[in-house]
Amino acid sequence: MPWIEELKDHIGKEVCLRGWVYNRRDSGKVRFVLLRDGTGILQCVFLRDEVSDSTFELADNLNQEALIEVTGEVREFDRAPGGIEMGAKTLRLIADSKDYPITPKEHGIDFLLSRRHLWLRSSRQHALIRCRDTMIRAFHCFFEKLGFILIDPPMITPTSCEGTSELFEVAYFDDVAYLSQSGQLYMEPAAAAFGKVYCLAPSFRAEKSKTRRHLTEFWNLEPEVAFLDLSGDMNLAEDMLTFVVKRLIEKRGEELELLGKGQENFEAHMKLLERLEPPFDRISYTEAVEFLEKKGVNFKWGEKFGADEEAVISEEFSKPVFVHRYPKKATPFYMKEDPDNPELVLNFDLLAPEGYGEIVGGSQREDDLAKLEAAIERCNLPREPLEWYLDMRRYGSFEHSGFGIGMERTLAWITGVHHIRETIPFPRLMDRIYP
RNA sequence: UCCUCGGUAGCUCAGCGGAAGAGCGGGUGGCUGUUAACCACUAGGUCGGGGGUUCGAAUCCCUCCCGGGGAGCCA
């Protein structure tokens, strides 16, 4: 039994297909049944004079998402969706579907998210999740080509990595543990062991964030490389993004097109993606602050950028822009102090254009034991849970850098989808853990 | 946590102090190939919960619950 996506090789032949009723239309002596099997949608045509009365009547009464089996001849037909249709001969109802809630009309987001398990069957969600699949494979492909080793970090951790974000607490026998909010601290020892490593794992953040850029559970890709400085880290990030965007345009053009329908800036957005090439612009935090002042934004050097500031900066550039060397007091403990200015650290954020915010955040890591110890103290972090981490600076301390990139934000930016909750099959949001 | 908008038919919404409405979906019938088909008829409601004001409340007020958008924080 072939899949619908394979039917171009079966034109003129009779096939038997199994699938769900996506939609149904009728006119006089014809019944059109749109059959969906997960790989595609096929129009099956039932003609009154060419099928039995019982088959015609069954075709006339099919419910949306009922599971059926159809046999018939595959043929080319210009006006059919996809250019192929089936002249159906027999029809069998395998499992009925009464009152399917998601009709081919408009629905609100609350309604759809509560039925996410069914919503995934619709064509837009289908396109998005296929893009996600292609994107994640592209990331793996990129790192494999460069000889990186995939290292899986633990999800249950004894302490916070950065001491900032809210953590999900879990009972761990007679103790408490936390769901990981980053694999980075584990990638550093892995880099000392294997040189070039990366992980792709969920990160959990118990922040009460209700915006289009936030999930409580998101997939975080984090490379870590020995003997790499900040500049090399940014090179790696831009090469990676360029590779992934090219792969997506090449393999998922149809899906991107479908997702772009109705988006006003879609043409411009696709041009931007097609022309994406290294190098991306790089400006320092200090230059960014000067730029904000020039734009009339009231902002004090030393503060973190808010959503408004990020938007003003990213609007100035047509592709993602690196902002590097932030003030030390606004950053986590593990970032390396700038040798040219002890008030700064060797880090960067990559801001996506069009309001999608920070999609990559990275840094060169502090490799000086004394400075790292001082930073832990400055951030008021407990020392004992980090002793193992300090060992990296005791036994052959090495220059190294890495970054984290959020899969959902990246996919939202590339596909032009407004809210990242659609970019993951089963989103976890502040007030939503079902289904 | 704060700001803001909302909750009326299965869905999307209109009505905003004086007899509960539309489109879609469901059902029935019609239509010689449809493209979110179309046409006709039809069923379908504790107007989020509770309290108050009023001769009269979906409509005004209070309160609670639920959801959307945003801020902070972050990927």
Residue A274 belongs to some domain of the structure: yes
Nucleotide nearest to A407 (CA to C1'): B75
User: What pLDDT score was predicted for residue A394?
Assistant: 97
What backbone torsions phi and psi does residue A388 show, to the nearest 5 degrees?
A: -60, -35
User: What pLDDT score was predicted for residue A28?
Assistant: 81
Judge whether residue A61 has pLDDT over 90.
Answer: no
pLDDT digits (tens, 9 = 90+) for A211-221: 889 999 999 99
Rounded CA-CA distance A188/A332 in Å is 15
Residue with CA nearest B75 C1'? A406
> What average pLDDT does the structure give for chain A?
91
Nucleotide nearest to A431 (CA to C1'): B67
Q: How far is the CA of A133 from the C1' of B28 (A)?
A: 45
Residue A101 belongs to some domain of the structure: no
Same domain, A238 and A296: yes
- Burial label for A364, CB within 10 Å (0-12, 13-18, 19+), is buried
Same domain, A192 and A76: no
Same domain, A135 and A282: yes
Rounded CA-CA distance A111/A117 in Å is 12
Contact indicator for A223, A403 with CB cutoff of 8 Å: yes
pLDDT digits (tens, 9 = 90+) for A374-413: 999 888 888 888 899 999 999 999 999 999 999 999 999 9
Nucleotide nearest to A408 (CA to C1'): B75
User: What pLDDT score was predicted for residue A160?
Assistant: 53
Same domain, A195 and A305: yes
Q: How far is the CA of A82 from the C1' of B24 (A)?
A: 26
User: What pLDDT score was predicted for residue A165?
Assistant: 57
Q: For chain A, how far is it from start to end, CA to CA, in angstroms?
A: 32
pLDDT digits (tens, 9 = 90+) for A68-116: 999 999 999 988 888 899 999 999 999 988 888 998 778 989 999 999 9
CATH of the domain at A193: 3.30.930.10
Average pLDDT over residues A339-360: 91
CATH of the domain at A53: 2.40.50.140
Same domain, A235 and A363: yes
Same domain, A332 and A223: yes
Q: Which residues contact A68 (CB under 8 A, 6 or more apart)?
A: A18, A19, A20, A21, A33, A35, A62, A91, A92, A93, A94
Same domain, A82 and A156: no
pLDDT digits (tens, 9 = 90+) for A223-244: 999 999 999 999 999 999 999 9
Q: How far is the CA of A124 from the C1' of B55 (A)?
A: 54
Same domain, A78 and A185: no
Say what the ipTM of the complex is: 0.89
**Number of C-beta neighbours around residue A216 at 10 A:** 21
Judge whether residue A418 has pLDDT over 80.
Answer: yes
What backbone torsions phi and psi does residue A138 show, to the nearest 5 degrees?
A: -65, -40
Average pLDDT over residues A284-311: 90
Residue A232's domain comprises 116-423
Residue A104 belongs to some domain of the structure: no
Residue A314 belongs to some domain of the structure: yes
Q: How far is the CA of A111 from the C1' of B6 (A)?
A: 14
pLDDT digits (tens, 9 = 90+) for A241-264: 999 999 999 999 999 998 988 777
Domain tally, chain A: 2
User: What pLDDT score was predicted for residue A155?
Assistant: 94
Nucleotide nearest to A209 (CA to C1'): B73
Q: How far is the CA of A108 from the C1' of B55 (A)?
A: 40
pLDDT top residue among A91 and A26: A91
Same domain, A67 and A205: no
Nucleotides in B strand less than 7 A from protein CB:
1-2, 10-13, 23-27, 30-38, 66-75
pLDDT top residue among A264 and A372: A372
